[in-house]
């Protein structure tokens, strides 16, 4: 298959009950394919270099499985999921085995076939052959902090949910780990340094620990790769120096109905995207709080900043504004050009073609949605 | 030869007959033989370190195997082995 560019007219949706793909034709969105029905699809994406679609499955009983399609999801081929090597230990005396496939990221253009997969319990894997085989990135697995300071977040064990390849220099790789924080490699993954200064871990006795933070998702502005954002367990944080320092840019109070505080609407959540051409512009899907993961005031909204998080604006048109207990999981928001799409825990799918200012419903009553990606 | 039965829950995800024959004096050997005959099936039953997946059950006759870590429960050729999903897996 030839290298291709995303059109913004197809969307892959990983759900609790299978992979759904939608396609736009003459302004109307309709379901194109339904694949892996019954299986939990933790993540799905297209590699724009090879054109392959990938679906990361988690069968409740039979374990994580990996599927690849070369024909837009009409047919699929099972390829071996990553395996932790013999003797790999989560903690001393506790064997490590693959529990969950969190995310898949394509490598740089000059590394065709290279893919990175983040997994639970904390392993980063790399493939050089379009996913046909994977190897554990031992340097990160053997990081001195892992056994003692990486812990579960969301799932029982540590998970790597974000892998960022610097478009300027593929030797620069950042990962986000729940719960540990952000780690950066500048040598192609041979060594890793924590990049968590300025983050706040309000759930720990010492919120300023070097390692022990909970980024829910870390994203990078492709056109300004030093600009990183994260929707963290403890707010929204931004860095303009490749994670050397972070600043909390959650919307200031007044306090919400929850006692969490002096933060406004844009504060707690999971999903975040940043504009690839403007590192000051980002979107989040707010939820009420850590303890109460529902829409604030039961009204769903998207918040956008265009000034690096100094101010936020909530957009609600087209989204439910009463009786809504919904929110979005971390990989369920995507941006392409002026188009945004997000899916929710309660199975609704929303689309905007005006940078998130107005929305329309593409579907309701889907299974819980874990992943939404333009393909 | 040991008769091995798979639940429909597995055969809908992995292309294998619901009843096959395999050899092995214990469960570990049996799964190795199944993998030889049907490459890829072992990954549905055991983790990469050989331990039984948490939500998979293996029965020898009507008896649940005891050793889920190393799969050393012995099998007689007159036994039937059933490989099924555990209800705990949701």
CA distances for B86 relative to A4, A64, A156, B6, angstroms: 43, 16, 20, 12
* pLDDT value of position B5: 96
CA distances for A201 relative to A172, A183, A234, angstroms: 25, 16, 6
Rounded Cα distance between A250 and A173, Å, is: 26
* pLDDT value of position A261: 61
* Interface touch B10/A62, C-beta < 8 Å: yes
Rounded Cα distance between A103 and A218, Å, is: 12
The answer to which of A203-207, A237-241, A362-366, B66-70 has the lowest mean pLDDT is: A203-207
Tens of pLDDT, residue by residue over A312-326, are: 999 999 999 999 999
* Interface touch B43/A63, C-beta < 8 Å: yes
Query: Chain B: nearest CA to A50, how far in angstroms?
Result: 25
**What is the average pLDDT across A174-196?**
98
Cβ neighbours of residue A66 closer than 8 Å, sequence gap 6 or more: A54, A55, A56, A57, A78, A79, A80, A81, A82, A101, A131
Q: Are strands A94-95 and A100-106 parallel, antiparallel or unpaired?
A: unpaired
Burial class for A92, CB neighbours closer than 10 Å (0-12, 13-18, 19+): exposed
* pLDDT value of position A258: 58
Residue B15, chain A, CB below 8 Å: the answer is no
Rounded Cα distance between A139 and B78, Å, is: 49
Q: Provide the 8-state DSSP code for A69.
A: E
Residue B49, pLDDT above cutoff 70: yes
A176 φ, ψ (degrees, to nearest 5): -115, 130
Residue A3, pLDDT above cutoff 80: no
- This prediction has a pTM of 0.94
Greater confidence (A3 vs A170) lies with A170
* Interface touch A80/B9, C-beta < 8 Å: no
Tens of pLDDT, residue by residue over A291-308, are: 899 999 999 999 999 999
Rounded Cα distance between A178 and A199, Å, is: 13
pLDDT band per the 50, 70, 90 thresholds, residue A94: very high
- The widest CA-to-CA distance across chain A, in whole angstroms, is 58
Residue B90, chain A, CB below 8 Å: the answer is yes
Predicted interface score ipTM higher than 0.90: no
Residue A78, chain B, CB below 8 Å: the answer is yes
Q: Please give the distance of CA A29 from its chain centroid, rounded to a whole number.
A: 24
Q: List the single best residue of A62, A64, A89, A123 to mutate versus B (max B Cβ within 10 A).
A: A62
Contacts of B49 in chain A (CB under 8 A): 84, 86, 95, 97
User: What is the DSSP annotation of A90-133?
Assistant: EETTEE----EEEEEEE--TTSTT-EEEEEETS-EEEESSTTS-
Q: Which helix (H) or strand (E) holds A32?
A: strand A28-35
* pLDDT value of position A291: 87
* pLDDT value of position A257: 59
Q: Please give the distance of CA A224 from its chain centroid, rounded to a whole number.
A: 19
Percentages of chain A per state (helix, strand, coil), in multiples of 5: 5, 45, 55
Return the percentage of chain A with pLDDT > 70, whole number: 97
* pLDDT value of position B88: 76
Residue A99, pLDDT above cutoff 90: yes
pLDDT band per the 50, 70, 90 thresholds, residue A155: confident
> How big is the A-B interface in CB pairs under 8 Å?
47
Cβ neighbours of residue A161 closer than 8 Å, sequence gap 6 or more: A102, A103, A118, A176, A177, A178, A216, A217, A330, A331
pLDDT band per the 50, 70, 90 thresholds, residue A33: very high
Contacts of B43 in chain A (CB under 8 A): 63, 65, 80-81
User: Please, what is the average pLDDT of chain A?
Assistant: 95
Residue A259, pLDDT above cutoff 60: no
Residue B89, pLDDT above cutoff 80: no
**What is the average pLDDT across A47-74?**
96
Q: Provide the 8-state DSSP code for A140.
A: H
Task: Say if residues A132 and A78 touch (Cβ distance below 8 Å).
Answer: no
* pLDDT value of position A254: 73
Task: Say if residues A80 and A66 touch (Cβ distance below 8 Å).
Answer: yes
**What is the average pLDDT across A92-118?**
96
CA atoms within a 13 Å half-sphere pointing along the CA-CB vector of B29: 12
* Interface touch A98/B53, C-beta < 8 Å: no
Return the percentage of chain B with pLDDT > 90, whole number: 90
Tens of pLDDT, residue by residue over B59-79, are: 999 999 999 999 999 999 888
**What is the average pLDDT across A183-194?**
98
* pLDDT value of position B23: 96
Rounded Cα distance between A229 and A237, Å, is: 6
* pLDDT value of position A253: 85
Rounded Cα distance between A247 and A363, Å, is: 36
Residue A340, pLDDT above cutoff 90: yes
For residue B11, the chain A residue with the least C-alpha distance is: A62
**What is the average pLDDT across A253-272?**
80
Q: Which two tokens stand for residue A134?
A: 């994977």
**What is the average pLDDT across A42-62?**
96
Q: Which two tokens stand for residue A220?
A: 């990078």
Q: Which of B45, B48, B51 sits opposite A83 (nearest CB)?
A: B48
């Amino acid at each position: 298959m030839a290298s291709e560019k995303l059109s913004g007219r197809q969307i892959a949706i990983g759900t609790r009950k299978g992979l759904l793909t939608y396609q736009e034709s003459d302004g109307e969105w309709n379901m194109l394919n339904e694949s892996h029905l019954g299986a939990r699809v933790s993540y799905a994406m297209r590699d724009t270099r090879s054109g392959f679609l990938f679906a990361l499955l988690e069968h409740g009983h039979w374990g994580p499985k990996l599927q690849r399609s070369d024909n837009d999801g009409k047919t699929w081929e099972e390829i071996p999921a990553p395996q932790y090597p013999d003797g790999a230990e989560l903690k001393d005396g506790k064997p490590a085995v693959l529990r969950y496939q969190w995310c898949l990221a394509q490598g740089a253009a000059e590394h065709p076939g290279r893919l990175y997969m983040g997994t639970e319990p904390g392993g980063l894997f790399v493939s050089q052959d379009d996913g046909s085989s994977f190897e554990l990135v031992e340097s990160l697995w053997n990081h001195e902090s892992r056994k003692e300071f990486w812990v579960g977040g969301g799932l029982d064990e540590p998970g790597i949910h974000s892998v960022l390849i610097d478009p300027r220099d593929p030797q620069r790789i950042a990962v986000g780990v729940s719960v540990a924080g952000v780690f950066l490699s500048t040598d192609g993954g041979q060594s890793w340094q924590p990049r968590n200064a300025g983050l706040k871990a309000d759930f720990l006795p010492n919120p300023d620990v070097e390692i022990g933070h909970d980024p829910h998702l870390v994203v990078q502005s492709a056109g300004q790769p030093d600009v990183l954002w994260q929707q963290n367990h403890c707010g929204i944080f931004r860095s303009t120096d490749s994670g050397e320092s972070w600043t909390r840019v959650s919307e200031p109070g007044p306090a919400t109905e929850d006692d969490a505080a002096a933060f406004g609407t844009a504060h707690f959540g999971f999903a975040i995207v940043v504009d690839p051409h403007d590192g000051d512009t980002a979107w989040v899907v707010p939820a009420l709080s850590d303890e109460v993961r529902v829409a604030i005031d039961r009204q769903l909204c998207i918040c956008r900043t265009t000034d690096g998080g100094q101010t936020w604006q909530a957009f609600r048109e087209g989204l439910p504004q009463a009786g809504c207990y919904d929110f979005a999981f971390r990989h369920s928001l995507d941006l392409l050009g002026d188009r945004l799409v997000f899916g929710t825990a309660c199975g609704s799918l929303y689309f905007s073609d005006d940078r998130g200012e107005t929305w329309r419903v593409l579907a309701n009553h889907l299974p819980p949605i874990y992943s939404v990606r333009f393909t | 030869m040991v008769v091995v039965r798979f639940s429909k829950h597995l055969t809908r995800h992995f292309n294998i007959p619901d009843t096959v024959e395999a050899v092995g004096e214990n469960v570990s050997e049996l799964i190795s033989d199944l993998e030889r005959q049907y490459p890829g099936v072992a990954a549905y039953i055991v983790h990469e370190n050989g331990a039984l997946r948490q939500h998979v059950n293996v029965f020898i006759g009507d008896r649940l195997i005891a050793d889920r870590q190393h799969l050393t429960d012995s099998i007689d050729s007159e036994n039937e082995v059933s490989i099924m999903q555990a209800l705990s897996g949701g």
